Amino acid sequence: MTLAESPSLLVAGIGEMVLSSSPHDHLVAYGLGSCIALAVWDPRAKIGGLAHFMLPSGPANNGSPVKFIDAGIDTFLHALESKGAVLTRSTLKAAGAAAMLTVGSGLAIGKRNAEAMQAALTERGLNLTATALGGNTGRTVQLEVADGRFLIKSLSSVTEL
């Protein structure tokens, strides 16, 4: 298994989200450290979305609509629904939230991100179907719109979640 390198690669940078209903598209978030990527895929509508959240909370930011979990989760979920995804039948997978900084116990951003994501989804009646959260190494993730496969590259390996 390898991550795609193709013209149909849609990249979610920090604070960004990408959505697609094209089976040829690969949605990618590079270099997740303490950030969290949330992948949502509706198997019936064949719609996928990937959001790259940076921090658990903060003000709404139109330039980076999903920079903060608390301010951006609804933006992401509503965008998916507006494309035709039904969240209750979708798979939700998350990766990231690594402990990248060890400068003090107050900077556990990865852990705080994981907790904020879980709380935000629970509040909306949604559950993660799979996760690769925590640890202390960075990850790159890719959602295959055609079949909902969620690939995670860490160091020298690629696994499917």
Nearest to 47 by CA among 17, 85, 78, 74: 85
Catalytic residue among 35, 38, 51, 116: 35
CA–CA distance, 125 with 80 (Å, rounded to integer)? 16
**Ordered alpha helix ranges (H), 86-150:** 109-123
Known active-site residue 36? no
CA–CA distance, 8 with 150 (Å, rounded to integer)? 16
CA–CA distance, 43 with 148 (Å, rounded to integer)? 7
Q: Tokens 């960075």 correspond to what residue? A: 138
CA–CA distance, 53 with 60 (Å, rounded to integer)? 12
Q: Just list the catalytic residues.
A: 35
